[in-house]
Structure 1
Amino acid sequence: MNKPSSTYLISVRPTWADAFFLDCNPKTIELRKGNFGTSLKAGDSIVIYSTLPVGEAIGTVKVIKRESLTVDRLWQESQQGQLAKVSREQFKTYYTNQESGIGVWVSAAELLLSSDRTLQTSPELGPSLAATAANSAANTRTDDIHQRSINQWKIMNCQRDIIIAGTVAEKPHTNICRR
């Protein structure tokens, strides 16, 4: 019998959260440390919460796989950081004193972006990220307010457990969308 998929909530800094939703070369690997996401399995959904100053759930992605790898192997598997939208320097700094790291491969990004906000970019992520941000916001975001409301309602009224910072929440959360 197939176990039903679950929905998880993770917080990601705005630059890297927005990178999941680009049309051209989106971020397809989330890098983490420790035992992050041990319950994640293929087909699960992840709600991407963009940390302050954005402070809202901006979209969802589907898990392809989660792997714990040596730091060197994770760098190779991320195509030298290209799939995670990180530079070598950022990668090395993040994994300082770590022997292994977690890679969560994702796809099927669905943006729930408000019409009053554009995607954030960062010069260190390269010109292709900055050049596609405006196009991605315009092309990926639905302008249909009704559909956006339905998508936010689905997140807010999720009947599945939501994982927050590795802890299973016993009740569905209703405060993960913009206030």
Structure 2
Amino acid sequence: MSDPIEYEFSHADLPAVAISKRLLSRWRRGNWVTRIGALLGGSAVGGLIAVASAMLNIPFWAALLLALGPTVLYAAATQFYASHTLRGLAAAQGTAPWRAGATAVRIGPNGVALTDGTGTLTLAWPMVTDIVLAEAHLLLMLSPLEYVPIPEGAIAPLTLEEAAARIEEWLRAAATPQESVPES
């Protein structure tokens, strides 16, 4: 196995809002069921309004505006809510006590160990759901918006791509069931 990766970083130095924004857009791209449901729901409401307006003998363009209006308003409200929530989430994450100082990270064959002023948190490899290579960071994903960052340059002489390859090797090894030796 390869040598462990060890480095230290401060959450204050991370562009948390930019990283969260990238992860949220990545998550939303993959969430087509929600998008299609929103589109169909908004269109259904708009269609009901259009049918009702047709019964009232208003011009076609007005009925079309009434049909598209709820969908456009829903999309705008959803975008505003998502961006507002994102800013609040990034600000709240930044105020967590364990993010106040420097964090030492050790990544090895058994998982990830995070040590800061409050203690040590050890994460086994099954806790890592994905590895995302961002512009200046490698992110070990724990959930759609929670991650362990590896800042570029913090693990020199390794590049982020080399670190990703080493971590994927450890992830695969952890996912492979170990053969047990029969007892004699």
Q: Same fold (TM over 0.5)?
A: no
Select the structure that is richer in strand.
Answer: 1
More helix by share: 2
TM-score, length-scaled by structure 1: 0.22
If asked which structure has higher relative contact order (CA below 8 Å, sep 6+), I would say 1
